[in-house]
Structure 1
Amino acid sequence: MDTIWQPDLSKTGRSKYLALADALRKGIADKTLMPGQKLPPVRDLAYRVGVTPGTAARAYSILISEGRLVAGVGRGTYVADEKPKRAKPADWPERVYLRSPVLPDAGQVEITRDAMHRVADRGDVVDLTDYPNREGNQELRSTLRRLLADLPVGNFDVDDIVLTHGAQSAIIAVLQTVLRGPDPVVLIEAQAYPGFRRAADLCRARVITIDCDEDGPIVHQIESAAREFGAQVFLTSSEVNNPTLRRTTPERRYQIARVARRYGMNIVDDDCYKVTPASAESYRALLPDLGWYVSSLSKSFSPALRVGWAIAPSGQASDLARTVAFSCFGLSRILTDTTLEILNDKRLDSTLSETRATIASKVRQAVNHLGGHDVKWHEDVPFLWISLPRGWRASRFVRVAEAQGVILKSSEEFVARDARAPHCVRLAVNSQIAAECFENAVDKVRTILDNPQEEIGV
């Protein structure tokens, strides 16, 4: 490789990491790079072709996920051995994971690494020898306040923001803060994010499910549960219901807020999946004394950071911050400083834009191949909700898809254990596999949809 492979990326008009990935593919295809050949370390390759180490690492990661390269700790990176020709390309994975959304690396890895280096190079080591405290993360909360300024969540300031280890941690902390009595009751939608039920279970709360129509949760069921069971909290996602993608209409939100105010019921609005401007006011705006807004960086930047936040109702942030402090002492200074560096990075906007564009492209690709079937989707949400045709049950469909190498999530995972699940499956966008591989997996799903259960052999 030292003398015969030297890609020229100086004139490429596309992202350098994609151009480098294409050059590696071409070198493998034309045998310039032979099976079993060891490739140079990331830093050496970066220097050779005039890119950053992060760019070279991303190109390697893409080809490793495609099966064209293999890597081992301490061994380096090699061109994968050739395999016998099969019905599908040999460099595709045996199983395509479409069970949960996977973000593309549109620069997150490089931004995070650089942020960690900057934090490590600082001289204020005194701050790294103490337990975390709320004063120590004020600068990060101030930055979040600026970035979240346009959210329709009502008036709030820096002190209303409480940092947590991801949105799930925020939901649990809110429940721990507001639930009272020996038999607290929490409401969730009949088809909802499983983390809601798990959070309620951890807090020993009884869960009552609420049916929905096309406008959102049914108001009279919420009122009946609040009156009959004394429900203290309603957990919901008003902008993007996971898994149905349903958006609660503005009028329905007003109606639900009136019920909550009448019975003194808190509403926690989980807004993790929405990455474009909100369609209506959050419950935090409609219920300044009872509404909680929860989100995180997991679905927009990276789930690896585990940084989330809750915007508490007026005057209640100190109670929530105390709950977080009692449970985990808060976020470490290393984590909050790294996150602050990431949020202030000039490359962040372009990375987020590229991430959204990649997700939108994959969603459109899936919808184009699933035409004719009942599919709910939005370009800015990294999953699709597929209603199965007659002859299919969700659990059976998922097993058949898995036997053909496609991993999906059944509707049964989004309902209560004793509830009847709809005949639906969720197909999530995996943005770290090749477009052709994703397309092939969606085509398999389409074929299974087109052929009822009795016509499919496993």
Structure 2
Amino acid sequence: MSTIWQPELVTGQGPKYQAVVSSIRKGIDAGALKPGDKLPPVRDLAWRLSITPGTVARAYTILTDEGTLTAEVGRGTFVAPPRATPANDAPIEIDVIKHSAGVEEDPHNVSLFSPHLPCVGQDKLVRQVMAQVAKVPPSGVMHYPSRSGARPARDAVVHWLKGTPLGPLHERDVVLCHGGQNGILLILQAILEGRKPTVLIEELAYPGFRRAAELLRADVVPVPMDAEGIIPEALEAVARAHDAQVLCTSPEVHNPTCGFTPVARREAIARIARQRDFQIVEDDCYRMGVNRAPAYRMLAPGRGWYVSSIAKTITPALRFGYAIAPEGKSHVLRRSAEHGFFGLATPMTDVCAALLTHPDIDRVAEATTRAFHTYVQCAVNVLGAYDLVWRPGVPFLWLRLPVGWRAGAFCQAAEAQGVQIRSAEEFVCREARAPHAVRMAVNAGVSLKTFEAAMMRLRDLLDSPPEQLGV
């Protein structure tokens, strides 16, 4: 080998293969190993270090998977070229809301089923990052996903969550997943035990909680709530009666009511979780600004799980999410993911690692929030005379219907007018009674003029309830 690098003897605590990995990394950092340098054959290096060839081979595999080394069949193992950082080929336009190029907008059919993000520059940013990764994939394109190879993406998630009150957070606590719903399923797989476990949810709750629990053959039990979320006294009674293993909740931005659970209420819920010995899964996918209260992972150490994604802040197209285990339980969550799908595709983790650390990403996220608020304010201006619940930056609104309207009938009438919205019935358990209310997601993928016209059609319906459903 024509380099000045001399391998270090493997001594001290810890696995020997990790010592070999560390020695090679130090050689690269010190410049003794340069891009393109060939490393010794496995057996040669093993003989020099007085260790087994399998130990050296494992170290080479780890470094190859993470992109530090490259392996060429018939030639050997080499130091990989330095990872290129995404080039900012042109300034990203911020605060300019654009709409899908080449797609003709239909002003008479507007879906408000799920939030549609405004285009404020993230489309160009994603394309730039994807093009850069395609040129020089940091993780390569010939290996199965590996935990070491995905570390840059987990580090990027920790960076992205800076300032979020989650308690002590390390990249090893993060498990990457295919969006927030996949994260919820992974967490429940890691938690639930026994033949027929019980999962608690809010009486009005994100349907994905119920679907994930039912997929795992768990019983789902709703817990009464008020304007501040779950009622602690009701939670204690339900948890005791059903021997619950987990509570699923959305305390920061409640879906569908836009509610918020204050810190005193959260502390009471965390205290009941300790007393009744159940876990808490927090879905934070809809929060777009700073936290208003600590997450359950901080308030209930050892039993608070957290899940979120980039679907509401950057783009839902990448299906990139992250589940975070309590301290000391990350190995259980990792096993759930690795046994299920091995790991996210390596090009995807490369793209998301670069995206979440890009210098423009915070401005894009802030512009997305501002654009959503513009649409929310439009809805409030049109529908504000009715019982409407909303929050700045939250990409949906909750409308309690006036006397004369039932949720199902109102949704059918709205659809006949070209506006698709969700009934409260979609957010309750099957046997429960639903309030006469609807959720309207913000569709910022259509022009503000088209969105306003849809709101006005809804207002016309609210102004004229069907006579047969009178008081």
User: What TM-score results when the alignment is normalised by the length of structure 1?
Assistant: 0.79
CA separation of 1:123/1:106 partners in 2, compared to 1, >3 Å: closer, same or farther?
closer
Match of 1:115 in 2: 129
Aligned partners of 1:107 and 1:351 also within 8 Å: yes
- CA distance in 2: counterparts of 1:257 and 1:244, whole angstroms: 22
Aligned partners of 1:408 and 1:426 also within 8 Å: yes
Residue 62 of structure 1 deviates from its aligned partner by: 4.4
Match of 2:329 in 1: 316
Match of 2:297 in 1: 284
Residue 212 of structure 1 deviates from its aligned partner by: 0.5
Residue 61 of structure 1 deviates from its aligned partner by: 4.7
Match of 1:452 in 2: 465
Q: Counterparts of 1:390-401 in structure 2 under 5 Å?
A: 390-401=403-414
Match of 1:225 in 2: 238
- CA distance in 2: counterparts of 1:393 and 1:60, whole angstroms: 36
Q: Counterparts of 1:188-267 in structure 2 under 5 Å?
A: 188-267=201-280
Letter in 1 for 2:385: G
- CA distance in 2: counterparts of 1:310 and 1:252, whole angstroms: 24
Q: Counterparts of 1:44-443 in structure 2 under 5 Å?
A: 61-62=99-100, 64-67=102-105, 92-122=106-136, 127-443=140-456
Residue 64 of structure 1 deviates from its aligned partner by: 4.4
- CA distance in 2: counterparts of 1:210 and 1:231, whole angstroms: 11
- CA distance in 2: counterparts of 1:123 and 1:444, whole angstroms: 49
- CA distance in 1: counterparts of 2:255 and 2:219, whole angstroms: 21
Aligned partners of 1:401 and 1:407 also within 8 Å: yes
Aligned partners of 2:160 and 2:357 also within 8 Å: no
Greater shift in the superposed pair: 107-116 or 297-306: 107-116
- CA distance in 2: counterparts of 1:334 and 1:124, whole angstroms: 8
Which structure has the bigger radius of gyration?
2
- CA distance in 2: counterparts of 1:347 and 1:54, whole angstroms: 7
CA offset digits 1:205-232 (Å, max 9, x no partner) = 0000011012220112211222121100
Greater shift in the superposed pair: 344-353 or 281-290: 344-353
Aligned partners of 2:99 and 2:446 also within 8 Å: no
Aligned partners of 1:66 and 1:434 also within 8 Å: no
Residue 60 of structure 1 deviates from its aligned partner by: 8.7
Aligned partners of 2:137 and 2:350 also within 8 Å: no
Aligned partners of 1:54 and 1:109 also within 8 Å: no
Q: Gaps (5+ residues) in structure 1?
A: 1-50, 68-91
Letter in 2 for 1:376: V
What secondary structure is seen at the aligned counterpart in 2 of 1:135? coil
Aligned partners of 1:401 and 1:448 also within 8 Å: yes
Aligned partners of 1:152 and 1:282 also within 8 Å: yes
- CA distance in 2: counterparts of 1:398 and 1:146, whole angstroms: 41
Runs of 4+ in structure 1 off by over 3 angstroms are 51-55, 58-67
What secondary structure is seen at the aligned counterpart in 2 of 1:128? coil
What secondary structure is seen at the aligned counterpart in 2 of 1:375? strand
- CA distance in 2: counterparts of 1:124 and 1:254, whole angstroms: 43
What secondary structure is seen at the aligned counterpart in 2 of 1:130? coil
- CA distance in 1: counterparts of 2:232 and 2:115, whole angstroms: 31
Residue 344 of structure 1 deviates from its aligned partner by: 2.3
- CA distance in 2: counterparts of 1:280 and 1:347, whole angstroms: 27
CA separation of 1:222/1:387 partners in 2, compared to 1, >3 Å: closer, same or farther?
same
What secondary structure is seen at the aligned counterpart in 2 of 1:310? strand
Letter in 1 for 2:127: R
CA offset digits 1:301-336 (Å, max 9, x no partner) = 111111111121111111101110000111111110
Aligned partners of 1:408 and 1:427 also within 8 Å: yes
- CA distance in 2: counterparts of 1:157 and 1:251, whole angstroms: 27
Letter in 1 for 2:165: P
- CA distance in 2: counterparts of 1:96 and 1:149, whole angstroms: 36
Residue 112 of structure 1 deviates from its aligned partner by: 1.2
- CA distance in 2: counterparts of 1:241 and 1:110, whole angstroms: 31
CA offset digits 1:4-33 (Å, max 9, x no partner) = xxxxxxxxxxxxxxxxxxxxxxxxxxxxxx
Match of 1:5 in 2: none
Identity of aligned residues (%): 43
Aligned partners of 1:65 and 1:433 also within 8 Å: no
- CA distance in 1: counterparts of 2:98 and 2:238, whole angstroms: 54
CA offset digits 1:54-98 (Å, max 9, x no partner) = 98xx9995464454xxxxxxxxxxxxxxxxxxxxxxxx4331111
What secondary structure is seen at the aligned counterpart in 1 of 2:435? coil
Aligned partners of 2:129 and 2:351 also within 8 Å: yes
- CA distance in 2: counterparts of 1:414 and 1:267, whole angstroms: 19
CA separation of 1:124/1:101 partners in 2, compared to 1, >3 Å: closer, same or farther?
closer
Q: How many residues end up aligned between the 2 structures?
A: 379
Letter in 1 for 2:367: E
- CA distance in 2: counterparts of 1:429 and 1:276, whole angstroms: 17
Letter in 1 for 2:108: E
Aligned partners of 2:98 and 2:120 also within 8 Å: no
Match of 2:63 in 1: none
- CA distance in 2: counterparts of 1:191 and 1:156, whole angstroms: 30
Q: Gaps (5+ residues) in structure 2?
A: 1-88
- CA distance in 1: counterparts of 2:98 and 2:233, whole angstroms: 55
- CA distance in 2: counterparts of 1:227 and 1:59, whole angstroms: 50
Letter in 2 for 1:356: T
What is the RMSD computed on CA atoms of the aligned residues? 2.0
Letter in 2 for 1:299: K
